[in-house]
Amino acid sequence: PITYYRQVLALCDLPPECGVDHPEVTKMYPPDAIARAKEYKAAIGPAGTGAYSHSQGILAFREHVANFIEARDGHTAPCADDIFLTNGASAGINHILQALIAGSNDAVMIPIAQYPIYSALIALLGGRQVGYELDESLGWAVTKSELEKQLRQARENGLTVKAMAIINPGNPTGQVMDRDVLEIICRFCSDNQIVLLADEVYQRNVYAPNKTFISARKIALETPGCENLQLVSFHSTSKGLIGECGRRGGYMELHNIESRVQENVHKLAATGLCSGLAGQVMTSLMVNPPKVEDESYESFVAEEKTIYDGLVRRSHALVQGLNAISGVTCEQAEGSIYAYPSIAIPQSACIEADKRNQTPDLMYAISLLEETGICVVPASGFGQRIGRVGFRTTFLPPDDKLREAIEGFARHHALFCDRYGGLARCTPAIVSKL
């Protein structure tokens, strides 16, 4: 964990006499952390971090988010009333999907592959998912023709497409969207009166030197024809360089959402009373880190750099290691924290998986776990094109553990393929039956 964040949170939680007002507090905490904690405690109020807040979150913290968005996008800050502090991005996604899905013919377009919260919540709420495939051969990009095809087919099937979700940078695919792709998406949603849901929780996790994170909000504000695009953006303290997933911090920003709808979203938020105060504090800290003139700035930047440099190094090592294995191909992990390789396995393995009533990648993942102790997620859990077999893994482990894992991947893949008769590729026709 990053020291400054934990220091401020600790001082916010402690009673004043044990923390910010303790006579020897400056021996334990830097002056800027103490000053920030005093500011936050005043914003929270005398009841402290153990009490409820406004259902949308502490006003001062929402203003910090608004200022962050203004600085990030280079456009006027959104109103703090358009920002909801949430228990991670997941709670915000849940609220918005609840507001959107009213019946079994209401549909949401989601990427394939996708983070399964979308498919799960859509099913739970009685809606329908419409998958649009990301093109692995194009570095997991989405094309206008694919979007139009899926929308047309959905409408022909009697569905009303209410929203479209994007994940940028991608989970599990790891791509970082270029401006032209984002412009296509924003125009598509605007032209078809579809609410765009922008999952941007990995926006600090960009590793490719030729890539930069660009928010959907920035594109919407700069693209002719998107002036009325309805957009909801999500961010979280669980990812990035902060990684405080247990704090359950995050926010969503509503852009061009009419007041009547926003009032109902507020009511949904109010059913949970408020998001956790620790998460609200962490969200404010994430968007409002130490300034250059602050005492903690140099140590804070050094800690972030260590984390970021490690992610860059390990992302390259993992992808290179996977691509060195015969029968394994993996696109560059431009962002997020995952690699999403495709694997070639013998046809006899696919036939055996069918006999076990398992997908080939589930059988492969179980074998990998039993042989090496490495746990991956079968790609079938995220969705993938027919005929593809793969898995999602991460480069979060330390360098030495990651090297061991790469060796384990190679050793297991050779053993698995030998067990089922060599490297003859499992054909799409066989996989599509499973």
- Dig out the tokens for 391 from the structure: 């898995």
- Is the pLDDT at 337 greater than 80? The verdict is yes
Query: What's the angle, vertex CA 23, arms to CA 22 and CA 28, rounded to 5?
Result: 70
**Bridge partners, residue 161, by sequence:** 107
Instruction: Give the residue, 422 or 386, on which the prediction is more confident.
Output: 386
Instruction: Find the helix or strand (DSSP H, E) in which 39 lies.
Output: helix 31-44
pTM of the model: 0.90
User: In this predicted model, what pLDDT tens digit does every residue of 239-294 receive, in sequence order?
Assistant: 888 888 888 899 999 999 988 888 888 998 888 899 999 999 999 999 999 999 99
User: In this predicted model, what pLDDT tens digit does every residue of 13-64 receive, in sequence order?
Assistant: 999 999 889 999 999 999 999 999 999 999 999 998 999 999 999 999 999 9
pLDDT of residue 430: 37
Give CB contacts under 8 A, 24+ apart, made by 392-396.
392/172, 392/338, 392/339, 392/340, 393/318, 393/338, 393/339, 393/341, 394/337, 394/338, 394/339, 395/311, 395/314, 395/315, 395/317, 395/318, 395/333, 395/337, 395/338, 395/339, 396/311, 396/314, 396/337
Confidence of residue 427 (pLDDT cuts 50, 70, 90): very low
Residue 427: DSSP 8-state = P
Confidence of residue 305 (pLDDT cuts 50, 70, 90): very high
Query: What average pLDDT does the chain have?
Result: 92
Determine the average pLDDT of the residues in 303-331. 95
pLDDT of residue 383: 83
* Look-up of token digits 């969705």: 383
pLDDT of residue 61: 97
Q: Percent of the chain scored above 90 by pLDDT?
A: 83
Residue type, 122: I
pLDDT of residue 246: 81
pLDDT of residue 247: 83
* Look-up of token digits 């021996």: 27
Query: What does residue 109 show for φ and ψ, rounded to 5 degrees?
Result: -80, 130
